[in-house]
Structure formats: C-alpha cells, structure tokens
Amino acid sequence: MIISYALDFAFICFGLGLLLTLYRVIFAPGVGDRVLALDTMVINTIAILALQGMQQGTEIFFEAAMVVAMLGFVGTVAYARFMLRGNIIE
C-alpha cells in the first residue's frame, strides 16, 4: 500500500524532471547545455523504466533500461566529441 504511494511519488518526480530537461533542451543558452540536458533526459528515462518494471512486477524493463543507459552514454560521448572536433569518426 505504502509502496504504491511512494511509486506514484517517484513517477511524478521523474516525470517533472523529464519536463524540466525538455524545457532545457528547447531553450538552452548553449550547445553544451543541450547535450547535458539530453544526457539527464536519458537518466530520467532509466529511472522511469526501473519504476515501471517495479510497478508491473516484470523483468522485461530491466533490459530496456540497460540498453537505454548504454546508448545514452555512447550518444553523449559522440555529441561531446562532435563539439570538440566537429567530427565523430576521423
């Protein structure tokens, strides 16, 4: 009982966080902030996937969260490299 309330609270927190990062992606003062906001968005998505898996009692969302984490890391590194060099694979 208490867990379902806590789950709802965490869902609301991370959902609001996603909205805040979306605002930051759209109205960013610089390119670096945009990349940072996208990275934070990926992290929020991982948390929401973990919460969803907990709510429904399945293990399926774990794999999705893992894949999202890895792709988010690779994507952020690629973006940062593009900012540094203007090129990703030289």
24 touches another protein (CB under 8 A): yes
Distance CA 86, CA 90 (A): 10
86 touches another protein (CB under 8 A): no
Whether residue 77 contacts residue 40, with contact meaning beta carbons closer than 8 Å, is answered with: no
71 touches another protein (CB under 8 A): no
12 touches another protein (CB under 8 A): yes
Residue 63 CB, nearest approach to another protein (Å): 9
CA atoms within 13 A on the CB side of 64: 13
53 touches another protein (CB under 8 A): yes
